[in-house]
Amino acid sequence: MTFEYAPAPESRSIVSIKPKYGHFINGSFVAGKKHFPTINPATEEILSHIALGGVSDIDKAVMAAQKAYTKTWSKLSGKERGKYLYRIARILQERAREFAVLETLDNGKPIRETRDIDIPLVAAHFFYHAGWADKLDYAGLGHNPKAYGVAGQIIPWNFPLLMLAWKVAPALATGNTVVLKPAETTSLTALLFAEVCQQAELPDGVVNIVTGDGSTGSAIVNHSGIHKIAFTGSTEVGKKIARAIASTDKKATLELGGKGANVVFDDAPVDETVEGIVNGIFFNQGHVCCAGSRLIVQESIAEEIIEKLKVRMAKIRVGDPLDKNTDLGAINSKEQLVKIKELSAIGDAEGAERWSPQCNLSDKGFWFAPTIFTGVTQANRIAQEEIFGPVLSVLTFRTPQEAMDKANNTPFGLSAGIWSEKGSRIFWASQHLKAGVIWANTFNKFDPASPFGGYKESGWGREGGKHGLAAYLKNGKETGAK
């Protein structure tokens, strides 16, 4: 039975968007020279104009961050730094609704997700790292661990404010200062976060936000005043960054792409598994680096799982991201929609069978119905390449070893899921899967205490937890620093 839902739109009146934004440097907003529009991907409405930062803006931001590091931030005790992080976390909670609505408008993701997942996790990251700030000497991170100085941070558009929190919270907790560039299509919540820094009376220059495009990101990577790079985005740009810093002493964490395998054994609880598959690939429109974008299901139960999955997919509500009933929102940009369409057409041409439920998609904005491809083989591009959209490739297996071989047969190694009732099978599989994050009988669960990162082309290093802190600290013991 399908329920009809009356529209339940969240009001956007809580959000006030300026017609034009500058950069946030040294505690103040400074005017940009050139600007580009940022749009609501659900309606194509222009929301505002964002400054295009150049080399000189990055230079000013790095100088401000260096000064803040030397004169203020490095002189504060961990306990004092922690107080600022707690204050930011509390303000984020107080302004959660404003952030959720703004993120939904700028990104296209459903309000249900920004309200219940993104923004609560953002606050949780600041709370978690606030607690670490005065305990670094006792955390097994080496003797008297020291900050690098200025961290350059470049973030993507799929979880704009959450990726900012993953980067800024550990950097500040460990005593670094920051120059951050948000993604071109989703800068608005980062600019609102700049206001939170002012409200929290964070010392000037500790956080600097320069908006722009790839060239702005490249200026951060190549700036000699930056000693640590933290990047989340495509493997292609990750490789460019790795090449750019190869001959320097810059440290880097790179969180890149994925093609996560969701492995379903014949003893898996069917209904829970179907929910987990839906959450694995259709959460956040599939714009998730660790999405379960390959379903690898045991042949004997494949038919039943796919049949139930189709019934479940027909109930996914696609539409207005601000409607509290919506499950699947808009694709973040025209470019991303083109990429999803192209790769899906390649799936058709390679002989896989496409299925989507009937959806009434709006003519305005960027939309793609939840889609599965069955009959996919390992050689198909839709089994190897990151589509980064609501598209699931289904493969089958007969023996557990075949499942592991197929799961590991991509250039990536970021995430995987295992569905089985047997603990022994889960432990066996988790030892054979080459993935940085493995979920058992669940998917897409995140916690600030849990390190996140990948193998192979999924990147370098870990973010989150104690591992994530280590990435922002010179080990006093190793460098001989006092």
Nearer to ligand NDP, 15 or 183 (CB): 183
Nearer to ligand NDP, 17 or 244 (CB): 244
User: Nearest approach, Cβ of 371 to ligand NDP (angstroms)?
Assistant: 16
User: Nearest approach, Cβ of 281 to ligand NDP (angstroms)?
Assistant: 14
- Is 255 an active-site residue? yes
Dihedral sign (CA 90, 91, 95, 101): negative
User: Nearest approach, Cβ of 119 to ligand NDP (angstroms)?
Assistant: 18
User: Nearest approach, Cβ of 156 to ligand NDP (angstroms)?
Assistant: 3
User: Nearest approach, Cβ of 204 to ligand NDP (angstroms)?
Assistant: 24
User: Nearest approach, Cβ of 241 to ligand NDP (angstroms)?
Assistant: 6
Nearer to ligand NDP, 236 or 271 (CB): 236
Nearer to ligand NDP, 104 or 336 (CB): 336
* Contacting residues toward ligand NDP, per CB under 6 A: 154-158, 181, 183-184, 213-214, 217-218, 221, 232-234, 237, 240-241, 256-257, 289, 336, 339, 386, 388
Residue 374 CA from chain centroid, whole number: 27
Nearer to ligand NDP, 173 or 183 (CB): 183
Residue 91 has φ and ψ, to the nearest 5°, of -65, -40
60: Cα within 13 Å, side-chain hemisphere: 17
Active-site position among 289, 290, 457, 463: 289
Nearer to ligand NDP, 245 or 301 (CB): 245
When CB distances to ligand NDP are compared, the closest residue is 217
- Is 359 an active-site residue? no
Instruction: Using only the alpha carbons of the chain, give its radius of gyration.
Output: 22
Round to whole Å and give the CA distance between 264 and 257.
Answer: 22
Closest to 367 in 3D by CA, of 345, 323, 337, 335:
337
Nearer to ligand NDP, 78 or 214 (CB): 214
User: Nearest approach, Cβ of 352 to ligand NDP (angstroms)?
Assistant: 19
User: Nearest approach, Cβ of 431 to ligand NDP (angstroms)?
Assistant: 25
Active-site position among 10, 113, 255, 386: 255
If DSSP states are collapsed to H, E and C, what string results for the chain? CCCCCCCCECCCCCCCCCCECCEEECCEEECCCCEEEEECCCCCCEEEEEECCCHHHHHHHHHHHHHHHHHCHHHCCHHHHHHHHHHHHHHHHHCHHHHHHHHHHHHCCCHHHHHHHHHHHHHHHHHHHHHHCCCHHHCCCCCCCEECCEEEEECCCCCHHHHHHHHHHHHHHCCCEEEEECCCCCCHHHHHHHHHHHHCCCCCCCEEECCCCHHHHHHHHCCCCCCEEEEECCHHHHHHHHHHHCCCCCEEEEECCCCCEEEECCCCCHHHHHHHHHHHHHHHHHCCCCCCCEEEEEHHHHHHHHHHHHHHHCCCCECCCCECCCCECCCCCHHHHHHHHHHHHHHHHCCCEEECCCCCCCCCCCCCCCEEEECCCCCCHHHHCCCCCCEEEEEEECCHHHHHHHHHCCCEECEEEEECCCHHHHHHHHHHCCCCEEEECCCCCCCCCCCECCEECCEECCECHHHHHHCCEECHHHHCCC
For residue 98, count other CB atoms closer than 10 A to its CB: 17
Nearer to ligand NDP, 134 or 213 (CB): 213
User: Nearest approach, Cβ of 180 to ligand NDP (angstroms)?
Assistant: 10
Nearer to ligand NDP, 181 or 223 (CB): 181
Contact (Cβ atoms closer than 8 angstroms) between residue 88 and residue 96: no
Catalytic residues: 255, 289
